[in-house]
Amino acid sequence: MAIPFFSQDKSATMIQEISQMGDMESQLRQAYTNILKLLNQYGATMANLVDEVLIITDKDGAITHPSKYRQEIFSEIHVISSTIVQIKRLSFPDLMIETGLVGEI
């Protein structure tokens, strides 16, 4: 079973939820909350993920905060492959994180 791409409305809502958060930790937590909701809609969990790419604007913040939060959400499952890439800015100025995930069901 393949999980489809977000519809534009769903994607815009999730981007707005994330961009309203002020700091990297809040944006990461909201992004993972959205991911959990999406996976749940398709009967999947974080255990179905095998790879993630984080595109971020604050490398230091992204490395510090995910270590705490990732331990919480990935605590009972395997560690997945993760790539972190820092860029100057994302397409929406308030966004500090964009993520791409690959999973198998």
What mean pLDDT is predicted for residues 27-51?
A: 84
Percent of the chain with pLDDT over 70: 70
- Residue 54, helix vs strand vs coil: strand
Beta bridge partners of 100: 53
Mean pLDDT across 46-73: 78
68 confidence band (pLDDT: 50, 70, 90): low
Q: What's the CA angle centered on 7, arms 86 and 28, to 5 degrees?
A: 35
Is the pLDDT score of 90 beyond 60?
yes
pLDDT score at 19: 62
User: Has this prediction a pTM greater than 0.85?
Assistant: no
Beta-carbon count within 10 A of 47 CB? 13
